[in-house]
Amino acid sequence: MFEMRSTFASALLVSAITFPYLSCAQNFVQVPIVRVNNGDNFVSAVNVAVGNPPQNMTAILDTGSSDFWVPATGSKLCADPKNQCIASDKKFSTGSFASNSSATFVAGQPNFFAIYTGGVNVTGTFMQDSIRLGNTELKNNTMGLSTQGFLPTALFPVMGIGFAAQEFSATQQNPTPYENLPLAMKSAGLTNTAAYGIYLNDFRSTEGSIIFGGMDTAKFTGNMTMLPILENSNGQATDFVISATSLAITGGSNKKRATTNIALPNKQTPVLLDTGNPSIDVPLPVVEAIGNALNANPGPDGSMQVTCDIANKGMNMVFGFSGATIQVPIEMILTPAKNKDGTQAKNNNGNNLCVVPVNPTANEDDLVSFGAPFFSAAYAVMDLQNKKIGLAQAKVNATESNIQEITASGGNTSVAARAEIYSGSWNNPRRPMRTVPLV
């Protein structure tokens, strides 16, 4: 029996339709999503260059927040023991930004700050400078330049690509949000709309991709279902929150347990889709039900642990939405359980242990979050302009490509399906990106 204690670590009818989505022009920007630490975690990152001449950095790609910021070279933040600004003897470096080395740097006001779940917070000032993503340059982009903060985990720059209404300054002091990255790309004519397609792919593979202003129809199978983003209690769509309608564990060697339905908190449970979250966060009773279905046990650090041979049992987590179903193979989201000395953890029978990235929310009424493990098997179109999310089953490790532009009307014409409009709102604390330590 998998039982977690309080001490554990902290729309049904679908019809195929056609939208006037495509354009003959190619206004999109494709950027690889890179792995950090050889795929032993669920950190989704992109390489970005800031300034002139370009200074290279690696930033977490985060749909759960809306600000892009980088650490300042020589700052207190980069002197913190958990900084990753300089490679030196570290296994990994995010890089940092030296403003006095950029000919196009413009200091900005007011002060910048960001706070994330898990305790990470940074402060600094706003700035403007050019950024390069892939082969594309965006000039005069507004971003944060962080100089100090609190780092309970390893330091990463963050590329927040959510709604501008959730910029940290907008939620606290500035009623008029600035144009963050998706909006700035549209204004600069690099894309025709504030929307993008995300293909995180299997984290054991080399990379995935994000296409600002476009989507790759060769990277998913079947129809893409367009789901309306839920409004908050103020009647505004400010986060990538949609309704989840079901969750199940399927497969396994015991045919009597071929399908185990997991009860979600509500018939239509608001869920934040957050690439910056390295786990799937659900209320404690849901975690325990998943653990029981997987025959899991709690590890010393509170993680959900299973024997690694579960990867051979063909088990899946199946997420249901209004008209969309995403099947995530358990074997795709397992990571090795480690002892304190970094060696492979084993059970009393000598079997290797693996971690299932499912964690309890801090409180049972907190907003549920499906993070990077969910995205590893889903192709998602995040449409800020039309306030919709498109979901389809990803083709894992697909090598073909068929990129199509997203216009102001929405997603792709030939593959879209519409879920019946459902009602509802949510009134929970926002759940931005959570960072994880690297080894």
State how far the Cα of 164 lies from the Cα of 177, in Å rounded to an integer. Answer: 6
Query: In the numeric block, which tokens belong to residue 209?
Result: 């991709």
Strands 280-282 and 358-360: parallel
Phi and psi at 131, nearest 5°, equal: -130, 150
The tokens for 150 are 């609190």
| Maximum Cα–Cα distance across the chain | 67
Give the separation between CA 226 and CA 382, rounded to whole angstroms. Answer: 10
Reading the block at residue 60, the tokens are 């977490």
Length of the chain: 439
Contact residues for 15 (Cβ-Cβ < 8 A; gap 6+): 417, 418
Q: Where are the beta strands (DSSP E) in 116-200?
A: 121-133, 136-150, 158-160, 195-199
Q: Which token pair is 341?
A: 């000395």
Mind giving me the DSSP string for 282-297? Answer: E-HHHHHHHHHHTT-E
Burial of 5 (0-12, 13-18, 19+ CB in 10 A): exposed
Q: Is position 67 annotated as part of the catalytic site? A: no
Report the DSSP beta bridge partners of residue 321: 244
The active-site residue, picked from 62, 129, 281, 383, is: 62
Catalytic residue among 239, 274, 281, 383: 274
The amino acid that residue 31 corresponds to is V
d(CA 3, CA 295): 11
Task: State how far the alpha carbon of 115 is from the alpha carbons of 40, 41, 118, 151, in Å.
Answer: 25, 22, 9, 11
Is 274 one of the catalytic residues? yes
Residues 156/162/163/169 CA torsion (nearest 10 deg):
-10
Q: Are 104 and 97 in contact (CB under 8 A)?
A: no
Catalytic residues, by residue number, are 62, 274
